[in-house]
Amino acid sequence: MKLFKRLSLIALCLCMLVGTFAMPVSVMADEAADEAYKQSLKDKGFTEDYIEPLLALHKKYSQWEFEPLLITEISRQQGKETEYTWDYVIHMEYADSIKRNLCARSAAQTLYRDFSHTVLYDSGWYKASRAAVEYEMDTRNFLGEKSIFRYLDLRWSDGITLEAVQAALRGTFMENTKLDGEYSNTTYAEFFYKVGKEVGVNPVFLASRIRQEQGTGKSALISGYCGDKMWYYYDNGSGKYSKTDENGNLINAPTSGYTQAGLQKYNGYYNYFNMGSAGTGYFEIYMGGMNEAIQGTPEMASKWGGSPSWNTRWKALYGGTMKVKAKYIDVYQNIPYLQKFNVDARSSKNFWGQYMQNVTAATSEGNTMYRAYSENNFLDTKINFVIPIYEGMPKEKCKTPDGTEFVEADLLKASNIDSYFTYDLMNISREDGLVREYADMGIKWRTVVCKPADAIALGRINLSKYDQIFIDYSTDGDFKATSNGKPAYLGITADPNGDYTDKNAYTVDYCNLKSGNGDDLYRRVAKLNVKSDDIGDVYLAVTSPSGENIYIHNIIFVTKTGHTGTVEDPNAPETNAPTTDAPAVNDPETDASATELNTETNADESDIQANAGVDTSSGDNNGGGNDMTVWWIVIAVVVIIAVGGNIVLFTVLKKKK
């Protein structure tokens, strides 16, 4: 019996000793595994900005695979005359073509607009701003559990279930709805699953794409009566819809050249993927989409009774899937991001061959696919993500457009500009506040409201340092620049008590304000020349004969290359920040204090982000040796305590005997 007790006591001591070692050893093993995984990401080509977010995802979903797509390196390998650096792709996506990236007229996307372009394109979309393009293209902004699905590999993958496809269609016109013809007993979800498997495309993507393209399902392109709709707009040359319809949608219908029979021949055709549906106004969009539907899928003509046309719903879906795979997925556009931003140099149609114009399309489509995977417990499976990376990306992630970006940022990147600084509008204290709220849009901007015949003190400024002043301002769409023959002025002056209806009161320079164009917001830049070398108090002055407000968003003081004549200020320094060198093209001039746009297009707030309790500092872990030393000290102390405790316990038990 005594022997049994002694053996039990020894076993207990050993268990305590082993347990003492187990915890730090386990922690050390986890840290070693993390370091090994991070190194594997670096070996693949991921830069520091991506390591911690991807590690966080890996720790939660160990089967997920991440591959970098090194865009700049690929362009070199393909022998492109110009390397696809960050600056170059942003230029091509934003400046090379006005219609390459558009945003909706909705309130949610107001701050994505390029306010220097007030023209409506296609069916009523605005040109997206440079800030919006940069934000959506910066792949570091979308590395969360939900947002990373914009990089999902769109090829067929075993394990995808019908239930996941059904989840992607939940809440849409396609939910539990059946098709037509020989598939009249087949639901949309079942058909997507079937065609996806046969063609080799992820059926969740197919469901998400049609959800993205068709929305509520009321488009004339899938009604079967698109010809009637075009005839209604055309209306035999009445000209009623030569511009817009009753709701302000751009129609742009012609007034001659068509007949009723000629247009109604387009009835009976469908185009779910909106292929070929491009143009200025709905009439042209419908015409392009119906011509695409009639052309259909030639390689399927023999199987479809001799006609390639999409004259049934299921043919439009099947044929559209085949075209998406052949024209996009099979030619280096196999993730939603690349179908929106075609930047892989191996593609033969870089930049122009993009499936979507909506600048946020990849993000919203990825969100839909995430929901389908999540609701069906399909996240913890093997999923492949391909993440584009560019050389020359900004040091900091491009932030969400918030309306404070300088509306004509390219002005600041001109070769003749040496330096500039953006005046901090928060220095101005006014009883009406610094924020204008658009109640109908729920949007707040950092602005200063200038009332009619108003002067705002900017503080002491040495004007001899500068050559120009750019004032970024806006008015309402119905703003009138003249009243009773008197013009509206905006300018800079050293006279706080001048008559601002007189242009001579603007001692630095002024500009004539222009009337609004009927848009909901009219925004532009006043470019003033500094015609004074005064040192002292300076005022922003404005007069509006119509009695309406002018809204100031940015004031930028510019020094040009070769500037001479600067006079040193013997008195107090300027109240604003000192002049700074003009940043490189990839440094966005933004105000981080402004409110961010909160819409579904943003990375989901619940996403696992690197800065959520994780040290994101870059560089090698030079402190690794010190960390190990600390661990061994901790282990030694714990061992001593454990052994000592065991000896005491043993002694106590022995005395009790």
Q: Are residues 629 and 532 in the same domain?
A: no
Q: Are residues 568 and 427 in the same domain?
A: yes
End-of-domain residue from the set 328, 359, 378: 328
Q: Are residues 461 and 514 in the same domain?
A: yes
Give domain status of residue 162, yes or no.
Answer: no
Instruction: Give residue-wise pLDDT tens across range 482-507.
Output: 866 788 888 999 888 888 888 888 99
Would you state the pLDDT for residue 644? 59
Q: Give the separation between CA 267 and CA 263, rounded to whole angstroms.
A: 8
Tokens 């919203």 label which residue? 364
Which region among 3-17, 37-51, 209-223 has the lowest average model confidence (pLDDT)?
3-17
The domain tally of the chain equals: 3
Q: Are residues 548 and 646 in the same domain?
A: no
Instruction: Give residue-wise pLDDT tens across range 59-82.
Output: 999 999 999 999 999 999 999 999
Instruction: Give residue-wise pLDDT tens across range 361-397.
Output: 999 999 999 998 898 888 988 899 999 999 999 999 9
Q: Are residues 435 and 567 in the same domain?
A: yes
Tokens 């979507």 label which residue? 356
Tokens standing for residue 305: 């009774």
pLDDT band at 604 (very low <50, low <70, confident <90, very high): very low
Of 500 and 165, the one with more pLDDT: 165
pLDDT band at 612 (very low <50, low <70, confident <90, very high): very low
Of 123 and 611, the one with more pLDDT: 123
What angle do the packed helices 48-60 and 2-44 form, to 10 degrees?
140
| Ordered alpha helix ranges (H), 272-400 | 282-295, 313-327, 336-340, 361-375
What 3 state SS string does 93-158 have? Answer: HHCCCCCCCEECCCHHHHHHECCCCCCCECCCEEEECHHHHHHHHCHHHCCCCCHHHHHECCECCC
Percentage of the chain surpassing pLDDT 70? Answer: 76
pLDDT band at 636 (very low <50, low <70, confident <90, very high): low
* Cα–Cα distances in angstroms (integers) from residue 144 to residues 127, 133, 275, 613, in the given order: 28, 19, 31, 14
- Asked whether the beta carbons of 296 and 233 are under 8 A apart, the reply is no
Would you state the pLDDT for residue 228? 95
Give domain status of residue 299, yes or no.
Answer: yes
Give domain status of residue 80, yes or no.
Answer: no
Q: Is the pLDDT of residue 431 over 70?
A: no
Would you state the pLDDT for residue 488? 84
DSSP strand pairing (482-483 vs 486-487): antiparallel
Angle CA(168)–CA(174)–CA(175) in degrees, nearest 5?
65
Q: Give the separation between CA 357 and CA 340, rounded to whole angstroms.
A: 7
Would you state the pLDDT for residue 594? 27
What 3 state SS string does 7-66 have? Answer: HHHHHHHHHHHHHHHHHHHHHHHHHHHHHHHHHHHHHHCCCHHHHHHHHHHHHHCCCCEE
Would you state the pLDDT for residue 134? 96
Contacts of 485 (CB under 8 A, 6+ apart): none
Q: Is the pLDDT of residue 196 over 50?
A: yes
Q: Give the separation between CA 488 and CA 547, rounded to whole angstroms.
A: 10
Tokens standing for residue 117: 């372009």
Number of other residues whose CB lies within 10 A of the CB of residue 343: 26
End-of-domain residue from the set 328, 359, 393: 328
Number of other residues whose CB lies within 10 A of the CB of residue 350: 20
Give domain status of residue 448, yes or no.
Answer: yes
Instruction: Give residue-wise pLDDT tens across range 513-532.
Output: 888 766 666 778 899 999 98
DSSP strand pairing (126-127 vs 102-103): antiparallel
Mean residue pLDDT across the chain? 81
Please report, as a single letter, which amino acid is at residue 208: S
Q: Which range among 426-435, 558-567, 574-583 has the greatest average pLDDT? A: 558-567
Q: Give the separation between CA 400 and CA 360, rounded to whole angstroms.
A: 12
Please report, as a single letter, which amino acid is at residue 441: M
Mean pLDDT of 180-207: 95
Q: Is the pLDDT of residue 286 over 80?
A: yes
Instruction: Give residue-wise pLDDT tens across range 140-156.
Output: 999 999 999 999 999 99
- Domain of 513, in residue numbers: 409-581
Give domain status of residue 524, yes or no.
Answer: yes
Q: Are residues 416 and 546 in the same domain?
A: yes
SS3 content of the chain, % helix, strand, coil (to 5): 40, 15, 45
Instruction: Give residue-wise pLDDT tens across range 434-443.
Output: 444 433 333 4
Instruction: Give residue-wise pLDDT tens across range 534-555.
Output: 888 888 888 876 667 777 888 9
State the DSSP code for 528: E
Q: Are residues 648 and 516 in the same domain?
A: no
End-of-domain residue from the set 280, 312, 328: 328
Would you state the pLDDT for residue 617? 33
Question: CATH code at 477?
Answer: 2.60.120.260
Q: Are residues 489 and 627 in the same domain?
A: no
Q: Are residues 573 and 633 in the same domain?
A: no
Element (H, E) at 166: helix 162-168
Q: Are residues 551 and 431 in the same domain?
A: yes
Number of other residues whose CB lies within 10 A of the CB of residue 391: 17
Percentage of the chain surpassing pLDDT 90? Answer: 48
Give domain status of residue 79, yes or no.
Answer: no
- Asked whether the beta carbons of 390 and 50 are under 8 A apart, the reply is no
Instruction: Give residue-wise pLDDT tens across range 399-418.
Output: 888 777 787 877 888 889 99
Tokens standing for residue 311: 């004259």
Tokens 């009604």 label which residue? 223
Number of other residues whose CB lies within 10 A of the CB of residue 384: 17
Q: Judge if pTM exceeds 0.75.
A: no
Would you state the pLDDT for residue 92? 95
Would you state the pLDDT for residue 151? 97
Instruction: Give residue-wise pLDDT tens across range 90-117.
Output: 999 998 888 899 998 876 787 788 877 7
Q: Are residues 292 and 243 in the same domain?
A: yes
Give domain status of residue 432, yes or no.
Answer: yes
Instruction: Give residue-wise pLDDT tens across range 289-344.
Output: 999 999 999 999 999 999 999 999 999 999 999 999 999 999 999 999 999 999 99
Give domain status of residue 142, yes or no.
Answer: no
Q: Are residues 571 and 646 in the same domain?
A: no
